[in-house]
Amino acid sequence: MRRAILAIDGAFRYVAMLAIVVTMALTSADALMRYLLNRPLRGSIEIITDYALPMMVFLAASHAYRHGGFIRVTVLRTIMPPRIQYAMDMFAQAVTGMIALLFTYAAGIQAVAAWRDGALSNGVFEYSLWPAYWIVFVGLALMTVHVIADLSRVGNGQSGLLKEAEAV
């Protein structure tokens, strides 16, 4: 099961990276067309905002978590004895898991509502917005799975919440 989750995580990371490349290409094409030809690329900002940005942030969130990419404040933790550190780590991991579950639940409710109501953009072109809501939900859900699974890894320091940032 863990291998499947890691494979999905890796696939999401590559989709997020592709979204970054597409964003750079669309932004560059829009700027060139706007200033050289006086013809901006219509709808590019909307597509970037509604689809590419959620992909960049939420599909990469679990990868960032797993590799220690989130900000931590460890000043108080480092001066505590090991038993207190462990208790603080477990508490932080549990609270993080609860918050991640809450965010995932809320995103799921929003995704279902957007899909049910047929949410549409109101920009230059009319297109469905519900896939973007599902991108947010799926990205948060994967990160939540990692956070909850890491409860068992707190004791040996392997939780993504406790890792120092790794070069990726």
For the segment 80-95, what is each residue's pLDDT rounded down to a tens digit? 898 998 898 899 899 9
- Retrieve residue 18's tokens: 């592709």
Taking 70 as the pLDDT cut, the residues of the chain under it are 161-168
**Res 136: pLDDT:** 98
**Res 163: pLDDT:** 67
Angle between helix axes 2-36 and 130-149 (nearest 10 degrees) is 140
Phi and psi angles of residue 67, each rounded to the nearest 5 degrees, phi first: -105, 20
**Res 166: pLDDT:** 56
Q: Is 112 exposed, middle or buried (0-12, 13-18, 19+ CB in 10 A)?
A: middle
- Rounded distance, CA 97 to CA 160, Å? 12
Quote the pTM value. 0.87
Q: Please, how many CA atoms are within 13 Å of residue 80, restricted to the half-sphere of its CB? A: 12
**Res 11: pLDDT:** 96
